Amino acid sequence: MPELSSIDVVASAARADGLDFGGVSSPDGAITLLLVDIENLQELWERLGEPRALELVGDYSGLVEKLVQTHFGNVVKSEGDGFMCAFPSAHSAVRCAIEIQRTFAGEQGEGPLLVRSGLHSGFLIERGQELMGRNVVLAARIANHAKGGEILVSSSTHEYTSTDASLQFEERGEVHFKGLLGEHTLHAVGWGR
């Protein structure tokens, strides 16, 4: 069985906890989930050693939390370097993901941190956690599909934000994710590397 990424861990914990996102939904009831983590953290850990890696992950975590708050989002769950964040606005979530990428693209003493981000916008039905669970799973699958330094969004997040001329998207095609029906069109967000 493959090792779970930190994105899988926070997504599973959020589903198990039955978290209520009602306070962060947009007027139409949609929320945008942003999941982020550091690509190949284990390699970074081995290269830097535990004390420096812990310090770096601590700095990263503090900055992610601050950026999420700045963009009117909430950190719903975090585990190690993995964060699940909820936003009432898809625009705010995408802008937060861009700012996270820009923050960590520069030198961190040991080179850039390769952060990967996945976003999905959807609706909540509180009495049934199936739909909420599906949205969490889809956001996690999208984030896990991203490479370090990449922001990928679902077609629904793209639809909410595509009219914003300040955002740039590149279609990445359709992807089938294990455990989810159908094909899912992904878009990469340009953030000015």
**pLDDT single digits (tens) 143-181:** 999 999 999 999 999 999 999 999 999 999 998 888 787
Q: Is the pLDDT of residue 125 over 80?
A: no
**Per the domain annotation, does 81 fall within a domain?**
yes
Which domain, by its residues, includes 72? 6-190
Question: Can you give the pLDDT at residue 153?
Answer: 97
**Per the domain annotation, does 1 fall within a domain?**
no
Residue 68 φ/ψ region, left for φ over 0, alpha for ψ in the -120 to 50 degree band, beta for the rest: alpha
pLDDT band at 29 (very low <50, low <70, confident <90, very high): low
Amino acid, res. 177: F
Rounded Cα gap, residues 28 and 25, in angstroms: 8
Rounded Cα gap, residues 94 and 111, in angstroms: 24
146 phi/psi in degrees, rounded to 5: -70, 150
**Per the domain annotation, does 42 fall within a domain?**
yes
Q: What percent of the chain has pLDDT over 90?
A: 53
Q: In what order do the strands lie in the sheet with 183-190?
A: 74-79, 82-87, 30-38, 115-123, 151-153, 183-190, 168-176
pLDDT band at 10 (very low <50, low <70, confident <90, very high): low
Helices 129-145 and 6-17 pack at an angle, to 10 degrees, of 170
Q: Which span out of 109-123, 132-146, 153-167 was modeled with the highest average pLDDT?
A: 153-167
Domain count for the chain: 1
**Per the domain annotation, does 37 fall within a domain?**
yes
Rounded Cα gap, residues 78 and 62, in angstroms: 11
**Per the domain annotation, does 105 fall within a domain?**
yes
CATH of residue 120: 3.30.70.1230
* pTM score of the predicted model: 0.81
